[in-house]
C-alpha cells in the first residue's frame, strides 16, 4: 500500500504516508497548559508518519474556546516539551499547528475583551461554546494595521517557541474560518487598505505570516493548512480558484515543508464558482508536498495517493479513535468507533482509553 510507504517532508523521513490531522480536544487547563495525558495521547499515535498537533493559541488574544492550549508562556512551552520528547522517543514526527481564532470566539473566553477580525462583521447563524454555555457571536473589533503587524509578530514568536518546545515544524492554521482565513475571504474582509480589496491584498496577511515564520525558524519547517471550499464560520469566496492559485504561486517561492489542503464538501447550487476538488485544483500547481484531508478512509486515501498529487493523507476522527491506525490499515482490521460525546473536554475517557488491536485479542 502506498499509505504504508515511507516518504519525506522538509528534512524529515516519515515512516508512512498517514498524517494525524489537527483536532481540538479541549484538554488543557484554564491557563492553556497541557498535562501528562496529552503526552500519552500523542505518544499512543506516534506510529503516524506525521502528527499535526491540535490547534495551539499563539497568544492570549488568539484563544477562542476554553481549555485550548497555548504556546506563548514559559509554562506552556515547558509542558509541550514533555509531549514532543515522548513522541520523539517513539520515533515520531510532530508539527505544531498555530492558531489565532479571530472572530471565532467570545468575550466570555477572553477576559471580557471582544474578539478581533479584519472587519467588524459577526458570524451569523452559529453559536459559540463558552463557560456559560452556547452564545451568539459578537461583532468583533476591526484590527488596525499596527495591530495586524503585532499579530504577525505573535505568529513569529509562536514558531520560535514551538522550536524551543521540541516540535519538528509548524503549520499555520489558515483554514476553517479562523483569523488567516478571515483575511482571505470577502465575506469577512471588507477592508480598503493593504489587507483588503484585491486577491493580492487579502492574501497579504497569510503570506507575511508565512515569511516571518520561515525567516525565524528556517527552511523546510513551516507549513500551511487551507480550506478553499469551506463555508464554516461564515466564510465564502467570490473566486477561490483565482485567489488560491495566486496564493499557492506565492507560497511556491518559499521553502515550505508541505501544504495541507482540506477538500471540504459544499452546496454546489449555492457556490457554483467553487472547485469540485481542491486537492486536484491546487495540489497540481504546488511545488511543495501536499497533504490531502477531509473524510478519507483506507480505500479512498489509497486511491488519492495513486493519483500522484498528494504525498500524505491526514486522518482526524479515525486517528482519534484508533491510536494504531497504520497497523489497522495494514491488516485491514476493524476500526474502533469514535465516542462523539467525549471529543471535546473532559478527562481521560474518550481521550487515551481507546484500545489498541492487541488489547482486543
CA distance 39 to 87: 8
Spatial separation of the C-alpha atoms in residues 36 and 63, rounded to whole Å: 22
Q: Among all chains, which residue has been given the C-alpha cell 515544524?
A: 169
How far is the C-alpha of 107 from the C-alpha of 114, rounded, in Å? 5
- DSSP string of 277-302, one letter each residue: -HHHHHHTT-SS-EEEESS--HHHHH
d(CA 203, CA 180) in angstroms, rounded, equals 9
Residue for cell digits 516518504?
A: 7
Residue 273 CB coordination number (10 Å): 11
- Rounded to 5 degrees, φ, ψ at 173 are -80, 95
Helix (H) or strand (E) holding 94: strand 94-99
Q: 178 catalytic, yes or no?
A: yes
Rounded-to-integer distance, Cα 26 and Cα 24, Å: 6
Q: What are 13's three cell numbers?
A: 523521513
The phi, psi pair for 181, rounded to 5°, reads -65, -35
What's the rounded Cα separation, in Å, for the pair 220 and 168? 10
Q: Which of 140, 110, 109 is nearest to 124 (CA)?
A: 140
Which of 41, 42, 137, 178 is catalytic? The answer is 178
Query: Residue 42 and residue 52: Cα distance in Å, rounded?
Result: 10
Q: Cα 19–23–27 angle (5° rounding)?
A: 130
Give the residue numbers annotated as catalytic, written as ranges: 178
Amino acid at each position: 500500500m502506498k499509505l504504508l510507504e515511507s516518504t519525506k517532508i522538509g528534512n524529515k523521513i516519515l515512516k508512512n504516508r498517514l498524517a494525524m490531522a489537527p483536532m481540538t480536544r479541549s484538554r488543557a487547563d484554564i491557563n492553556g497548559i497541557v498535562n501528562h495525558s496529552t503526552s500519552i495521547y500523542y505518544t499512543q499515535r506516534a506510529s503516524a508518519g506525521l502528527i499535526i498537533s491540535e490547534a495551539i493559541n499563539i497568544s492570549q488574544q488568539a484563544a477562542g474556546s476554553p481549555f485550548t492550549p497555548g504556546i506563548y508562556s514559559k509554562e506552556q512551552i515547558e509542558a509541550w516539551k514533555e509531549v514532543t520528547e515522548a513522541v520523539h522517543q517513539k520515533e515520531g514526527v510532530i508539527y505544531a499547528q498555530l492558531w489565532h481564532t479571530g472572530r471565532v470566539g467570545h468575550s466570555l473566553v477572553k477576559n471580557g475583551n471582544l474578539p478581533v477580525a479584519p472587519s467588524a462583521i459577526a458570524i451569523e447563524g452559529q453559536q459559540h461554546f463558552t463557560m456559560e454555555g452556547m452564545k451568539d457571536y459578537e461583532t468583533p473589533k476591526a484590527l488596525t494595521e499596527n495591530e495586524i503587524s503585532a499579530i504577525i509578530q505573535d505568529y513569529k514568536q509562536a514558531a520560535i517557541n514551538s522550536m524551543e518546545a521540541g516540535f519538528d515544524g509548524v503549520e499555520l492554521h489558515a483554514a476553517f474560518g479562523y483569523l488567516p482565513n478571515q483575511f482571505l475571504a470577502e465575506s469577512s474582509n471588507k477592508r480598503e487598505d493593504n489587507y483588503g480589496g484585491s486577491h493580492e491584498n487579502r492574501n497579504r496577511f497569510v503570506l507575511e505570516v508565512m515569511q516571518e515564520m520561515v525567516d525565524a525558524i528556517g527552511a523546510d519547517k513551516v507549513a500551511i493548512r487551507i480550506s478553499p471550499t469551506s463555508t464554516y464560520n461564515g466564510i465564502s469566496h467570490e473566486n477561490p480558484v483565482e485567489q488560491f492559485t495566486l496564493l499557492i504561486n506565492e507560497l511556491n517561492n518559499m521553502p515550505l515543508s508541505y501544504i495541507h489542503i482540506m477538500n471540504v464538501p459544499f452546496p454546489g447550487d449555492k457556490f457554483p464558482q467553487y472547485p469540485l476538488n481542491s486537492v486536484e485544483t491546487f495540489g497540481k500547481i504546488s511545488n511543495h508536498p501536499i497533504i490531502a484531508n477531509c473524510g478519507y478512509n483506507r480505500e479512498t486515501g489509497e486511491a488519492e495517493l495513486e493519483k500522484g498529487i498528494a504525498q500524505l493523507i491526514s486522518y482526524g476522527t479515525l486517528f482519534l479513535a484508533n491510536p494504531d491506525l497504520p497497523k489497522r490499515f495494514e491488516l485491514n482490521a476493524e476500526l474502533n468507533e469514535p465516542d462523539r460525546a467525549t471529543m471535546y473536554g473532559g478527562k481521560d475517557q474518550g481521550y487515551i482509553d481507546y484500545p489498541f488491536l492487541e488489547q482486543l485479542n
